[in-house]
Structure 1
Amino acid sequence: MKLITISSLDGSGKSTQIELLKEYLKSQNKRVFYFHAIEFGLAKKISCLLDIRCPIGHRMSKKEKSVIRANFFQIFLRKIFLMIDLWRFKKLYKKLEKEKFDYILSDRYFYDSIVNIEYLSLLTSDVRKVLLTSDVRKPNLAIYLQTDPQIIMSRERKPDQGMEYLKKKKELYDANFSFWNMKKIDGNQNKESVFEEIKKLCQI
């Protein structure tokens, strides 16, 4: 079973590419499991349960506003939740292996969670980054969709965090992608060109 992940800024087209890849692999008679790291995360589930706007078992139509600031305790909780999520993912991975899935396609990955923690806490220590990364399962292929924030903000469906947030997050992705052995793809291209590059990297 192969694990393929796509990481990048919000609005870069990750979900579009994961969907294209999923449909392509299914057309090749492959068993594919779609994984969304943020939706899977314990922090997201608890946030949903505590928010009266989000009834249990129902997705709200109103788009949730993204978190761009956090205090020390909130950041500490995110780190704890990340460790728990990594353990939960290991169990899920073993389960999917037993069920003979061919691929896990991850829309965002735990690397994105680490970048977000770095952004919120302004951590730049390589030691802390190594500690956060040490338990992350290494993907068979990790893709970084490098996209210009100005292009993202010019699109019809642009994220709500704003330009400065995207610029800072891009700096963090640019600084980290080699550390995590990610393959970089130019996300400023049209979606068809991006997908062709992804297929080449996947060797499919």
Structure 2
Amino acid sequence: MKSDMFTELPGKLVAVEGLDGSGKSTQLYLLKRWLELRGLKVFFTEWNSSVIVKKATSKGKKRHLLTPTTFSLIHAADFADRYERQILPLLKAGYLVLCDRYFYTAFARDAVRGCSCTWLRSLYEFARRPDLTLFFDTPLPVALSRILAGRPQLKYHEAGMDLGLSADPQESFRLFQERIYREYLAMRDDCSFVTIDGSATVEDQQKVVRDLVAGAFDLPTYRWKSL
């Protein structure tokens, strides 16, 4: 019997990846609304949002208890919980599942924190690859300016302060994001990312995103069926 990873499922999985401030979350939200207004079955999930794991993650971050390995494992537990309870069941139920970050986020961030790339891939090998992964390739200065303009204060782990890159949170954040960006570029071809110009206007990006999704999937088959 084939595992769920290799079995064709009625639903489709779309993931967006990119730096903080790349615009991916905005574009995924706009895509979600567009699909919903067309009467399609859509489900949205985002990184690090499992209710079961959230308290442990928050406590570990506040007390600075997380080593790179524990940091990675706790996010893997979060992902596994959402995958088993939400993502996989809804794919089996014929939904378009939209993921704001997928396991590629762990591949990039945890590798920067020193985790083995081979180990990281084995950690997430239970999960199927997305049917479409959109990588928002946004120039680092643009992404940084968006984040810093909207954040009165960067959080410790968000800024990569645990890596000891710089005592200044903004400089640490810049160096952290720069390293993450290099990891994304390194995996882009192997992971079949479809690149979106993150410096284009919101409207232009959304047109590209909609065209890609409409071209990749037979969208009318995901409409709600009236009783």
Provide the aligned length of Structure 1 versus Structure 2.
Answer: 183
Q: Does residue 165 of structure 2 align to residue 165 of structure 1?
A: no
Q: Does residue 103 of structure 2 align to residue 110 of structure 1?
A: yes
- For 1:129 and 1:93, locate their aligned partners in 2 and report how far apart those are by CA, in whole Å: 20
* Equivalent in the alignment of 2:25: 15
Q: Is the 8 A contact 1:147 1:188 kept in 2?
A: yes
TM-score (norm 1): 0.76
* Equivalent in the alignment of 2:113: 120
Shift of the 33–173 alpha-carbon distance from structure 1 to 2, 3 Å rule, reads same
* Structure 2: runs of 5 or more not aligned: 1-10, 160-172, 216-227
Report deviation, 1:135. Answer: 2.6
Report deviation, 1:199. Answer: 1.4
Larger Rg: 2
Q: Which of 12, 17, 33 is 2:43 aligned to?
A: 33
Q: Is the 8 A contact 2:91 2:97 kept in 1?
A: no
* Equivalent in the alignment of 2:195: 184
Listed one character per residue, the Cα deviations across residues 133-171 of structure 1 (whole Å, up to 9, x for unaligned) are: 423321110111111111122333369333222211111
Report deviation, 1:132. Answer: 3.7
Q: Which of 64, 67, 77 is 1:74 aligned to?
A: 67
- For 2:67 and 2:53, locate their aligned partners in 1 and report how far apart those are by CA, in whole Å: 10
TM-score (norm 2): 0.69
**What is the RMSD of the two structures over their aligned residues, measured on CA atoms?**
2.8
* Equivalent in the alignment of 1:90: 84
Q: Is the 8 A contact 1:26 1:32 kept in 2?
A: yes
* Equivalent in the alignment of 1:2: 12
* Structure 1: runs of 5 or more not aligned: 52-63
Report deviation, 1:126. Answer: 4.9
